[in-house]
Chains A and B, each alone.
Chain A
Amino acid sequence: MKKILSGNEAVARGAYEAGVSFASAYPGTPSTEILETIAREYKGIHSEWAPNEKVALEVASGASYAGVRAIAIMKHVGVNVAADPLMSLPYTLTRGGIVLVSADDPELFSSQNEQDNRHYARFAKIPMLEPSTSQEALDFTKEAFAISESFGTPVMLRTTTRISHSMGVVETGEPREPNTPSLERHPAELVMLPANARRRHPVLEERIVALKGYADTSPLNRIEMNDPAIGIIASGVAYQYAKEAFPGASFLKLGMPYPFPDAKVREFASQVRELWVVEELDPFMEDQVKALGLGCRGKDRIPICGELTPDIVKAAISGAGTGKAAQPVLPGRPPSMCPGCPHRSMLWSMKRNKCFVCGDIGCYTLGFLPPLDAIDTTLCMGAGINHAHGISKVLGPGTEKIAAVIGDSTFYHSGITGLLNLAYNRGVALVVILDNSTTAMTGAQNHPGTGITLEGQQTTSLDLETLVKALGIEWVRTIDPYRVKEARKTVKEGLEYDGPAVIISKSPCVLLKSRNVSGRMLSVDADACTGCKVCIGLGCPAIEFQDEKAHINEMCVGCNVCAEICPADAIGGDV
C-alpha cells in the first residue's frame, strides 16, 4: 500500500515489518517520533521510554541477547551517553538483530552541537546505513536487521533532521514473524572480561573486513552512470540535493557508507573525470576516498557547518557564489517559554537573588534569553549540577552564590549522579529541580516521575524528595513556583545554607491537563499601572508594553505571577 510517511514514521514501519519485538528510546529531536509511532501504531512491539540513552541501548541489547530483534533510538548527542555500551557491544554475541538509530541534527534546529555520528560507526566498528528518502528509511531499517543477524553485529541506522522530518511516498510491505525469545548461556561471548574480550576483538576485526566485501557488492551502494564529466559520491539527503542540482551527473550513491566500499569507489572513480564527494558535516567519506589515494573535491568548497541545500551544492560544484540568498531584514519570532510556564517564575525568583546559575537542557534553557537573562552555563544534559559543584569548590565561601537548575526529566536522565557527587564531596550550592511532571521540550513524554509508561500503564511514580534525601541532601524544600514571594525567600535560604541544598519547584507544565493555573485572563488597571516594567522583566508573551503602560493580551492563562510581583498592585482578575 502507498502512504505518505515521514522518515521517522517509516523507520517505525520498518521496525514493524522487520519483526522487531522490543524498542527503547529516550526522547530527543529529531528522533522522538520513531518510538512514539511504534507505541501508537504497532502495539505488538513492546516499547518503553528509558530514563536515558545508555539504558535504552542496554535494555535493547538485553532483548537481543534473549534472541529477539530490538531497536534503540536516540538523537545524535544521546549516542554520547550510550557510547560506553556501544563500544563493547560489538565484541559480544548478537542473537536477535540489534539496531541503533542515531538521528543527527545538521543546522542545530534543536540541539546543543552539530556532531557527525557517522564517526561512531567507524569508532565502534559496526556497519552504518544511511537512508535518503522515507522509502529507504523503511527498507534500510529492515536491511539493518538482516545484516545484524547475518553478520552477528549491531548496526547503526543514521538519519538527519531532513530525513527524519521530511515526508515522502512509501510502499509498505508485510511484517515478518518476530523471533521467539529464548535464553542461552554463552559466557565466553557475553562476559566481557579481559580474557574473553581479547578473544573477541579479532572476531570483530574479521567481521568488519567481511562487511567491507558486502558493502562492495550490496545494491545498497550503487553506481548510476550518466555524464562522466562529473562523478558525485553522496549519501543521505545530500544525495537528493546533488541529484536536484546536477540531474545529468554520474553518481555513486552510498546507502551503506561504512565500512567504506573501497572497490566500488575505485571502480566509479576510474569512470569519471572529476570526482566530488557531497556530504553534510564532516569529510567522513571524503577522507576515506583520499586514503585510497584518489583525488577528489569536497570540503574545499562544501561547507562543514550547517545543513546543505540544493543551492549550496550547486554553488559549490559550479564554483559560483555560496547558494545562500540574502535575507530581508525583518522582525524575528524568537522562541520563548509559554505564558504561564512555571519555569519562568522560578527563574525570576532565582535571578532576583543574584546568583550564578548553572543551567541544563530543557524548556528552561530559554530563560537564558532577555529579559530574564537567568542562565549562565549550559553544556549537555546533567552538566549543570556538576558545574555548580566545580565552580563553588574552587571559589570557596564568601564569593558569589552558586546555583544549578535542572528539569525533572533531565534530573532522572543524568542529574542524580551529579547530586550524589555534590552531597558526597560536601559541595556548597543550591540545586533547583524544576518538576513539571513531563519532558516538555521534546513534546511532553512520560518519565519515571509521572507514574505512567509509554504504553499507558500505571506504574510506580518516583518520589523526588525521598530520592534527594537518600542521596545525602539534608536541606530539601518543595515549593509552588507560582507563589513568588515564598519562592524568592526559599531561594535566599537555600543559597545561604552552608552545604548542598535542593529546592523542588513543583508545578505541572501549562500544556498538560493537570496544570494548576486558572485559565482566566488577567488585566491591568491602567490608572494604577506606573509603567515601572517589573512585570515586563518576566518576559511573558502575554504582557505587552504600549503607551508607557503594561497590557495583558489573550495569550494569558492566569498564572497570576505578574499580579504577585506588581509593585503597584495594578494587575488583577478573578483568579
Chain B
Amino acid sequence: MNVLMTGVGGQGIILASDVLSEVMMRYGYDVKKSEIHGMAQRGGSVMSHVRFSREVASPLIPLSTCDILLSFEELETARYVSYLNKGTHVIINRYRLLPPTVIAGKEPYPDITPILKEKTSRIHFVDGVALAEEISNPKGVNIILLGTVSTLLEPEEALWTDTISDMLPAKIRDRNIEGFRRGRRVKVG
C-alpha cells in the first residue's frame, strides 16, 4: 500500500504520517516513510510518502502507484497527480492557503478538480475544518482526516486509537481520539 500525504508546513502532516506508520508496523507490516525536512517551514509545501506491505524496498512511492492521496490543502493535491492512477482514492481537506503569487494578484488559485479527474474519479472533499470545529479541536484536522483514511485500511479501530493514545501527549490525547472517531464516520469508500 502506498499512501501519500500532502499539504503545507504547520498542518500536522508529519504527526499523521507517524501515526499511520506506527499502526501499520504494529499490524505486522514492514513500513517505510520518507519526507523532506530542511527548508520546509511554515507555509511551504510538505509531502510524506508512507509505504507498507510484507516487505518494502524504496522509501519513495513510484509514479502512478499511489493508493491513497490524503491532502490537507487543495492546491497541494494537484502537485502530485503523477503519483495517481484510476484506482487512487483522493481525500482532500476543503482548505486553501493562498500562495504568494495568488496573494499578490499575479495568478488565480487554480481549479484542481479537472486536473485530478483526468486520473481518477475517486475524489472526495472533506470539510476537515468544520469537523474540527464541531468537536472544538481546531488543531485536530490531521487526526480527523487520518480517521477518514483509516476506513480504507485493514486495521480495526482499537489498534488506531491505542496507537494514538501511546503516541500523543496526555493533554491532547482524548480530543484527538474523539477527532479520529469523528473522521472515521465520514464515508469515502
Contacts and interface: CB of A to CB of B under 8 A. Distances in A.
Interface of A: 2, 4, 29-30, 109-110, 133, 161-162, 165-169, 237, 240-241, 243-245, 247, 309-311, 314, 323, 325-328, 330-336, 338, 541, 544-546, 555
A132 to B, nearest CB: 9
Given A162-B60, A244-B62, A335-B44, A110 B34 contact: no
Given A168-B32, A328-B78, A328-B81, A110 B38 contact: yes
Nearest to A163: B59
Nearest to B61: A310
A4 B31 contact: yes
A243 B58 contact: yes
Contacts of A311: 62-63
B33 A162 contact: no
Interface in B110-125: 110, 115
A167 B33 contact: yes
Nearest to B30: A169
B111 to A, nearest CB: 11
Contact of A333 (B30, B63, B100, B115): B100
Given A165-B37, A167-B21, A327-B82, A541 B43 contact: yes
A545 B79 contact: no
A283 to B, nearest CB: 22
Given A4-B22, A167-B32, A541-B100, A110 B45 contact: no
Given A240-B57, A333-B100, A555-B43, 6 more contacts: A4-B25, A166-B34, A328-B115, A330-B78, A331-B75, A545-B105
A166 B61 CA distance: 12
Contact of B79 (A2, A244, A328, A336): A328
A517 to B, nearest CB: 16
A309 B64 CA distance: 13
A247 B58 CA distance: 11
B21 A4 contact: yes
A166 B79 contact: no
Contacts of B156: none
B39 A109 contact: yes
A167 B30 CA distance: 11
Contacts of A325: 63, 82
A332 B101 contact: yes
30 contacts: A4-B22, A109-B38, A161-B38, A162-B59, A162-B60, A165-B36, A166-B34, A167-B32, A167-B34, A167-B59, A168-B31, A168-B32, A168-B33, A168-B56, A168-B59, A240-B58, A241-B58, A243-B58, A244-B58, A247-B57, A309-B63, A311-B63, A327-B79, A330-B78, A333-B8, A333-B44, A333-B99, A338-B41, A541-B43, A555-B43
B28 to A, nearest CB: 10
Nearest to A241: B58
Contacts of A237: 58-59
Contacts of A247: 57
Nearest to A247: B57
A310 B30 CA distance: 18
Contacts of A166: 32-34, 59
- A2, A110, A162, A330 — which one has the most chain B CB atoms within 10 A of its CB? A330
Given A331-B101, A333-B43, A161 B36 contact: yes
B171 interface: no
B159 interface: no
Contacts of A333: 8, 43-45, 99-100
A326 B31 contact: no
- B8, B30, B79, B102 — which one has the most chain A CB atoms within 10 A of its CB? B79
Contacts of B115: 328
B37 A241 contact: no
Contacts of B104: 544-545
Interface residues of B, number: 43
B57 A244 contact: yes
Contacts of A546: 103, 105
A133 B32 CA distance: 9
A335 B41 contact: yes
A328 B117 CA distance: 13
A323 B75 CA distance: 24
A46 to B, nearest CB: 26
Given A162-B59, A333-B43, A333-B44, A2 B38 contact: no
A453 to B, nearest CB: 24
- A241, A328, A545 — which one has the most chain B CB atoms within 10 A of its CB? A328
Given A162-B60, A241-B58, A541-B43, A169 B25 contact: yes
A133 B60 CA distance: 12
A483 B60 CA distance: 47
A331 B110 contact: yes
B154 interface: no
Contacts of B33: 4, 166-168
B60 A29 contact: no
A365 to B, nearest CB: 11
A326 B109 CA distance: 20
A134 to B, nearest CB: 8
B58 A310 contact: yes
A310 B32 CA distance: 14
A244 B110 CA distance: 34
B101 A243 contact: no
A240 B39 contact: no
B178 interface: no
A555 B38 CA distance: 21
A545 B98 CA distance: 13
Smallest CB-CB A-B distances: 7 pairs: A325-B82, A110-B38, A244-B58, A166-B59, A243-B57, A331-B99, A166-B34
A555 to B, nearest CB: 8
- B59, B78, B103 — which one has the most chain A CB atoms within 10 A of its CB? B59
Contacts of B75: 330-331
B51 to A, nearest CB: 10
A555 B98 CA distance: 13
Nearest to B64: A325
Contacts of A165: 34-37
A336 B100 CA distance: 10
Interface string B73-88: 0010011011000000
Given A29-B37, A167-B32, A168-B32, A331 B107 contact: yes
Interface string B111-152: 000010000000000000000000000000000000000000
B110 A240 contact: no
Contacts of A323: 63
A206 B59 CA distance: 39
- B57, B75, B81, B107 — which one has the most chain A CB atoms within 10 A of its CB? B57
Contacts of A314: 62
Nearest to A313: B58
A222 to B, nearest CB: 15
Contacts of A330: 75, 78-79, 110
Interface in B9-56: 18, 21-22, 25, 30-39, 41-45, 56
